[in-house]
Amino acid sequence: MIDRWIIPWVYAVEGIIAVQYFRYLFSKKVGPVQLSAAFFFGYALIYGLSLFDNVILNVVDFFVMNLFLQICCFQVGLKAALFHSGIMTFVMTASEFIMNLLLTAIVGDYSAYEYNLLVCITLGLLSKPLFFFVMQSVARVIGPKQEGIGEPKLLLLLGCMPVISTVVSIAVIYVGLTTVLEPVTEILLAISVIGLFIANFIVLLICDSMHKLYEDNFSAQLSSARDRADAEFYRMMLRSEEDQRILIHDMKKHLSTISYLAESANYQGIQNYISEWEKQPGMKKIPRYCDNNLLNVILARHSNICSVKDITFQVDVRVRTLQSLNDLELTALFENLLTNAEEAAEKAEEKEIELSVYARQESHSDVIAVVNTCDSAPIAHPSGLFQSSKTDKEHHGLGMKSARRVVTQKGGKFEAFYEEKEYRFFVIIELPLME
């Protein structure tokens, strides 16, 4: 067939589009080299099977291969992977069908791409930008927005390239197929369309490189945030040690005062003095809830908030858990969950919050359970969450939405419900373990 040498480039473009789509929706669980190798060999296999010239086989292997690549390379559940593979397969076939109908209106033959080089190139040049734009639109509509990662503004300018190429290609194919041209002119037109195809391929590579650059910048921000958390934790330790040194230095004076009160039989005064003594900063130790410094700082801060609001705060975080979350995801998740729990428990008669984090080996996941007292059932929201009791209705529920968005991005499960008999509100989260 005349288009055999073009098809590998078409599949290369489809592979890049698939990688960009999946990376926007899900977190990677393999490195960049492994990711590139997996998609290279996966789409090479799709190309090899396409040589059998069987349309049904082409559609099926495209669906199955993208399903396999999602599960192997990204943190995604089976149901979500099936859904997104189905979307990709439908959009890919629909874009080729629509553009081929457009070309058929010009050349008068639906199968012209099989024997006309110019039509074949133009079909690829028109259908793949459409495939790219639809998949990017779908990703931004149904996918979670990645916290902390901005969209490069230059991508908007680069996105104009496929649009311009589409317009130029339609004009070229119309002129080439409706006008009698010299063979040299036809060759030059074909070279021009091929050049546009290569230019669009380069644009895709540039977009992919820019996305990687922003991911590297995001990783640097995470590293900086981790360093700040470590520094804050060690500053807390130093302040605690300094308070303890001051307390030890004044120990003799405190004992002398207690001895004087004892000699005068002022037992109530001794009790009051010891109570005040226990409130000194040096008598308090920095709580160590877990082996993650950032989460430890977050939990310590909320422990102080609960202490001020007279809320009983119980924490049980098992070791070697939550390793799949980066620092920004960890902060967004626990800050929002605990803030919402505090707002509800503060208004309850029994003020209690329980936080548990443990690994569930049978489901190969980390489980986060937040339980807080709540005297009345919250109002259910159509989104599946619950409405906030805040007076600022414009921004109500954003905390729970942000927490669920992190869980969804990790391919996890988010469940929130109210137990009327126990007057408690439950948030149960399952996150796939990092492999």
Reported as a single tens digit per residue, the pLDDT across 115-143 is 776 677 777 777 887 888 888 788 877 76
Q: Is the pLDDT of residue 44 over 80?
A: yes
Residue 23: what pLDDT? 85
Residues composing the chain: 435
CA dist., res. 405 & res. 408, Å (int): 5
Q: Convert the pLDDT of each residue in 388-410 to its tens digit.
A: 554 444 444 567 787 888 888 88
Residue 26 in contact with residue 411, Cβ under 8 Å? yes
Give the residue carrying structure tokens 């995470």.
222
- Residue 214 buriedness (CB in 10 A; 0-12 / 13-18 / 19+): middle
Q: What kind and span of H or E run contains 359?
A: strand 352-360
Average pLDDT over residues 342-351: 91
On whether the CB atoms of residues 393 and 414 are closer than 8 A, the answer is: no
Give yes or no for residue 268 having a pLDDT over 50. Answer: yes
Alpha carbon of 225 to those of 56, 264, 306: distances in Å?
A: 50, 56, 25
**Residue 310 pLDDT > 70:** yes
Helix (H, G, I), strand (E, B) or coil at 99: helix
User: In the chain, pLDDT over 70 holds for what percent of residues?
Assistant: 65
Model confidence, pTM: 0.47
Residues whose CB is less than 8 angstroms from the CB of residue 264 and which lie 6 or more positions away in sequence, other chains included: none
Inter-CA distances, 256 with 47, 248, 306, 335, Å: 88, 13, 35, 45
pLDDT tens digits for range 86-103: 989 998 888 888 888 877
Domain boundaries, the chain: 7-224, 287-435
What pLDDT is stored for residue 395 in this prediction? 42
For 357, other C-beta atoms within 10 Å of its C-beta total 22
Tell me which CATH homologous superfamily contains domain 287-435. Answer: Histidine kinase-like ATPase, C-terminal domain (3.30.565.10)
**Within 13 Å of residue 137, how many CA atoms lie on the same side as its CB?**
8
Q: How many CB atoms lie within 10 A of CB 18?
A: 24
